[in-house]
Amino acid sequence: MNTMKKLGILTFLLCGMLATAQKSMEKDFSSIEDKVIEWRRYFHEHPELSNREFETAKKIADHLRSLGIEIETGVAHTGVVGVLKGNKPGKVVALRADIDALPVTERNDLPFKSTVTSEYLGNEVGVMHACGHDTHIAILMGVAEVLSKNKDKIKGTVKFIFQPAEEGAPPGEEGGAALMIKEGVLQNPDVDAIFGLHINSQTPVGMIRYKSWWNMAAAQRFVINVKGKQSHGSQPWSGVDPILISAKIIDGLQTIISREMNLTNEAAVITVGKITSGVRNNIIPESAEIVGTIRTLDYDMQKQLNRRMKEMVSSIAEAYRGEATTEIASGTAITYNNPNWFLKCYPLWKL
């Protein structure tokens, strides 16, 4: 999707508020395209991890300030919120962009590639905007600029929400949307509707995908602790092997999805992203830790999946003479897209 079209999506999303103004703003959007590309590349080259988006927030705040938009900084640690009051009375619409990057090393030769490294969970890691949040920030900065120039045409108020820690706050810290809401981001003025977007490299250029009702899956982090019994690798019969138990558990978890979930209702996913165990080749370790994510689009399925995971993990461990516990975080809610907003907006959108 090219930048103009991405910028256009947010105009589209604001269509109820800006229906008549949309045509006259097209010129403003095309004139800002180069700037948006430049910002996106800047953020791409200077990524920051969740709850550490200090420079990113500063650049966003400077930009909003330069547009004369009223801002609040330090929301949920590093979040920035701007409020643009239109010249006519009306509803309050919030537009949200996430601003954090991921602990991923960038492997390409782009002139604006990231060479940033940082510490993450005790390891030295590369940092990269591997999820596209650099683009989201730049788009929303562009939208803020165009809308602030067209204040006289806006019926109502636009709230720009730049949200930190979308990828999840580091362990032991609060963060992200939940903390922003707790700190009152949807109040004063109270938000009537909120919109966000996410770029997607599998979506062809020029196409927008949207879905009414339930859209983005709920994400739950899980941690499984497997307890075995340490022994020498040459004498497995005298120990309990937590690595073998982990392998059986991981295998078993996937059968919950393939054999127990009604996938004709909604999709569901369990992914193990990290396994930690052992110190050397010839020792059967004492324990293992399995960490992963659960994605669901239906709360009944989520309940069933959570229950079955716990049952399966402890029964498998028991079958192999070990023990295992499962902790599942309550996680994020399923994104709900109000179908009325889309139905009203869709006919106004022209690619």
Binding site for Zn ion (CB under 5 A): 131
Give least dist CB 102 to Zn ion, A: 8
Instruction: Output the smallest distance, CB 229 to Zn ion, in A.
Output: 41
Q: Which is nearer to Zn ion, 239 or 292 (CB)?
A: 292
Full DSSP string of 254-293? HHIIIIIS-TTT--EEEEEEEEEE-SSTTEE-SEEEEEEE
In the complex with Zn ion, the residue whose CB is nearer, 86 or 126, is 126
131 or 348, CB closer to Zn ion?
131
CB 15 within 8 A of CB 348: yes
Residue sitting closest to Zn ion (CB): 131
Tell me the residue ranges of DSSP E strands in the chain: 70-75, 79-85, 88-98, 117-120, 123-126, 155-163, 193-196, 213-214, 218-227, 231-232, 268-277, 283-284, 287-296, 323-328, 336-337
CB of residue 129 to Zn ion, shortest distance in Å: 9
Nearest distance in Å: CB 98, Zn ion:
6
User: What residue has token string 């930690």?
Assistant: 276
Comparing CB distances to Zn ion, the nearer of 104 and 131 is 131
Can the peptide bond before residue 285 be classed as cis, meaning omega within 30 degrees of 0?
no
Residue 99 CB, shortest distance to Zn ion, in Å, is: 10
Nearest distance, CB of residue 167 and Zn ion, angstroms: 7
Measured at the CA of 79, the angle between CA 296 and CA 28, to 5 degrees, comes to 95
Tokens found for residue 228: 């075995």
Of the pair 99, 143, the CB lying nearest Zn ion is at 99
Nearer to Zn ion by Cβ, of 19 and 131: the residue is 131
Return the number of the residue (43 or 320) whose C-beta is nearest Zn ion: 43
For 125, residues 6+ apart whose C-beta sits below 8 A from its C-beta are 103, 104, 105, 117, 118, 119
CB nearer to Zn ion: pick between 253 and 294: 294
Contacts 24+ apart (CB under 8 A), 39-43: 39/63, 39/137, 39/138, 39/141, 39/142, 40/3, 40/134, 40/135, 40/137, 40/138, 40/139, 41/112, 41/134, 42/112, 43/129, 43/133, 43/134, 43/137, 43/138
Q: State how far the Cα of 326 lies from the Cα of 270, in Å rounded to an integer.
A: 13
Closest distance of CB 136 from Zn ion, Å? 8
Least CB distance to Zn ion at residue 84 (A): 25
The whole-angstrom separation of Cα 212 and Cα 319 is: 44
